[in-house]
Structure 1
Amino acid sequence: MTRVGFVGVGAIGLPMAKHLVTAGFEVVAFDASPARLDEAAAAGMLPATSAGETAKDADAVLVMVATPQQLHEAVLGDGGVAEGIAAGTCCVIMSTVGVDGVHAVADALAERGIGVLDVPVTGGVARAETGTLTLLAGGDLDLLARHTNLLTPMGRIVLCGPAVGDGQAVKLVNQLLCSVHLAAAAEALAFAEALGLDPDTVLEIVKDGAAGSWMLSDRGPRMLAEDPPVRSAVDIFVKDATLVAQAAGVAGFDAPLLTAAASRFRAAAAAGLGRADDSRVITTYRAAGPGPGTGRAGADDAASNLENDR
């Protein structure tokens, strides 16, 4: 039986690891949360006391943590993967950590003779549970080919490029779109409420039309729920939007829609909702109230500007 280490069995990592168990892999799991480790053990995994322990005698180690800092600590910190992994073993980084974040870890592991695949995922908890994630793969093609059977139980592999960092770069484009679509969905539903409409009815009307989006269909019902379960936290989008903004800055690229969306995620986090479901970003629109250029005068000014632009 192939032995696999899995670091980070959180909301997305746990169902991913479960699919590996179902596929016949022996999975040794570690997470900073004892409750998550208990869930992993109940699902047939062997709990480890550290990230490094998951790597001992493993044929590969998968890392699914939240931030670049957590990745560095999980792999290169005290008790990290690098302390237990053998030369010639592959480390698959499945976290969204940005190009610089994955390069820093990959370079350090390469000095130890450890290959790295850069495979961030997209699809959220829903697709992690069904094993239909999109795996954005970057890295050596031969190394990827040797680990295809490890990755396919979790979803569909899409080749982003032959270099470590290519998967992260494509994921940043993905997260720009996700950030904007999520904020737009919240703004639209809050706008429906402000117009005195039933937002549930509006959601049903628009979600499958030209204005629909996956984010609207997936997050919309949770935006309108009183206390939705946490499927993806606001803090994740604060982190991802920050990574996108940093990459845009390096590239000299102006991303005004991303900037506007990121401000909403930061506002939600500042309001104490960082660990709440990311659908709670809608509260920043509900709480905003009339701002500059709103109301009847603002509407008249906007109409006048439109006339002047024709």
Structure 2
Amino acid sequence: MKHVAFIGVGAIGLPMAKHLVAAGLDVTAFDVSPTRLDEAAAAGMRTATSPEEAATDADVVVVMVATPQQLHHAVLGPQGVAAGIAPGACCVVMSTVGIDAVRAIDQALGERDVAVLDVPVTGGVAGAEAGTLTLLAGGEPATLARCTQVLAPMGRLAVCGPAVGDGQAVKLVNQLLCSVHLAAAGEALAFARALGLDPAAVLEIIGGGAAGSWMLSDRGPRMLAEDPPVRSAVDIFVKDSGLVAQAAEAADFDAALLDVAASRFWAASAAGLGRADDSRVITTYLGDTLASLDGTPAADPVHTAGPSKESGR
């Protein structure tokens, strides 16, 4: 039986790890939140006091944190994964952190004879709970084959390429579309209200037609709710749209629609909505927030999103 260390058992990480337990794998969890660790223990996992402790004797270490900075700290920082993981083991980065961040981890762990896979996910909390996430895998085929037993219980494996970073690259394309679709959904429903229409009725009429989108159908009802539960935070899209923008700049690509969408997430974060559900981006179109569109958030969103909450998309 494989021993799996799972670093980051948050809104998406915890249900992912639960599927590994259900598949009969031996799972040791670590999270900075004591509450999350209690939930992991209740689900049949062992718990650790540090990533280093969790990684000790693990065949596979899964890392599911929120940001590039958190990834670096969890793996290469004091009491990080690198201090405990054994040569010959595999580290699977399942966070959305961008190409450069995951390649830096690959280089550092490669010097310790640890293989790395780049497997960001899409499908959100609902997909994590149902075990239907799409796993965007980049890395050597032989390493991927070694880790299939661990990955398969969490969802559908989509092979993106043989290099670490290929999964992140495909995820950035995904996040460009998600960012634009989410902002467009908010703009459309706010436009309906500005025209004197009932946004809920408009959503029902157009949601299933040619103008519909997954984001409109999923986020639309939450946009119209007064206080929706947080399934994916605004600051996650600040972070992700920022990663897309960085990659576009490096590729000398003009992502004009992404820039417009990103300005809305920055505005919502600047208005103090960074930890709110990302459907609150609609408020930047409604005049219900004092946020400006000057691109200056109230706080650094990549640090306020929390260490174990991945985005819901």
**Fold conserved (TM > 0.5)?**
yes
Instruction: Tell me the residue number matched to 1:168.
Output: 168
Q: Which runs of 5+ in 1 are unaligned?
A: 290-310
Instruction: Tell me the residue number matched to 1:264.
Output: 264
Percent identity of equivalent pairs: 76
Instruction: Tell me the residue number matched to 1:254.
Output: 254
Q: Which has the higher contact order (CA 8 A, sep 6+)?
A: 2
Distance 1:76 1:146 in 2: 23
Write the deviation string for residues 238-276 of structure 1: whole angstroms up to 9, x where unpaired: 000000000000100001100000000000000001011
Distance 2:53 2:230 in 1: 29
Secondary structure (helix, strand or coil) at the match of 2:61 reads strand
Instruction: Tell me the residue number matched to 1:42.
Output: 42
Instruction: Tell me the residue number matched to 2:80.
Output: 80
Distance 1:87 1:232 in 2: 36
Code of the residue aligned with 1:214 in structure 2: it is W
Q: 1:35: Cα distance to partner?
A: 1.2
Instruction: Tell me the residue number matched to 1:274.
Output: 274
Instruction: Tell me the residue number matched to 1:211.
Output: 211
Instruction: Tell me the residue number matched to 1:23.
Output: 23
- Listed as ranges, the matches of 1:131-170 within 5 Å are 131-170=131-170
Distance 2:86 2:121 in 1: 25
Q: Which runs of 5+ in 2 are unaligned?
A: 290-313
Q: After alignment, is 63-72 or 201-210 more displaced? A: 201-210
Write the deviation string for residues 90-111 of structure 1: whole angstroms up to 9, x where unpaired: 0000000000010111100000
Distance 2:198 2:53 in 1: 53
Instruction: Tell me the residue number matched to 1:292.
Output: none
Distance 1:223 1:34 in 2: 31
Q: Given the alignment of the two structures, is residue 101 of structure 1 paired with residue 108 of structure 2, yes or no?
A: no
Instruction: Tell me the residue number matched to 1:182.
Output: 182
Write the deviation string for residues 27-50 of structure 1: whole angstroms up to 9, x where unpaired: 100111111111111111111111
Distance 2:76 2:115 in 1: 15
Code of the residue aligned with 1:139 in structure 2: it is G
Write the deviation string for residues 209-264 of structure 1: whole angstroms up to 9, x where unpaired: 10111111111111111111111100100000000000000100001100000000
Distance 1:276 1:35 in 2: 20
Code of the residue aligned with 1:115 in structure 2: it is A
Secondary structure (helix, strand or coil) at the match of 2:4 reads strand
Instruction: Tell me the residue number matched to 1:306.
Output: none
Larger Rg: 1
Code of the residue aligned with 2:121 in structure 1: it is V
Q: Given the alignment of the two structures, is residue 8 of structure 1 paired with residue 8 of structure 2, yes or no?
A: yes
Distance 2:41 2:105 in 1: 28
Secondary structure (helix, strand or coil) at the match of 2:74 reads helix
Instruction: Tell me the residue number matched to 1:120.
Output: 120
Distance 2:121 2:130 in 1: 14
Write the deviation string for residues 81-138 of structure 1: whole angstroms up to 9, x where unpaired: 0011000000000000000010111100000000000000001111111000000000
Q: After alignment, is 176-185 or 192-201 more displaced? A: 192-201
Q: After alignment, is 70-79 or 188-197 more displaced? A: 188-197
Distance 2:35 2:229 in 1: 17
Q: 1:199: Cα distance to partner?
A: 1.1
Distance 1:38 1:204 in 2: 41
Code of the residue aligned with 1:107 in structure 2: it is Q
Distance 1:247 1:134 in 2: 22
Instruction: Tell me the residue number matched to 1:53.
Output: 53
Distance 1:288 1:37 in 2: 37
Instruction: Tell me the residue number matched to 1:232.
Output: 232
- Listed as ranges, the matches of 1:61-80 within 5 Å are 61-80=61-80
The two structures, once aligned, show a CA RMSD in angstroms of 1.0
Secondary structure (helix, strand or coil) at the match of 1:147 reads helix
Q: 1:283: Cα distance to partner?
A: 0.6
Code of the residue aligned with 1:150 in structure 2: it is V
Q: 1:288: Cα distance to partner?
A: 7.4
Distance 1:41 1:225 in 2: 34
Q: 1:188: Cα distance to partner?
A: 0.6
Write the deviation string for residues 6-33 of structure 1: whole angstroms up to 9, x where unpaired: 0011111111111111111111001111
Instruction: Tell me the residue number matched to 1:305.
Output: none
Q: 1:184: Cα distance to partner?
A: 0.4
Distance 2:53 2:179 in 1: 36
Distance 2:154 2:3 in 1: 16
Distance 1:173 1:30 in 2: 30
- Listed as ranges, the matches of 1:292-307 within 5 Å are none
Distance 2:18 2:223 in 1: 28
Instruction: Tell me the residue number matched to 1:296.
Output: none
Code of the residue aligned with 1:66 in structure 2: it is A
Code of the residue aligned with 2:219 in structure 1: it is R
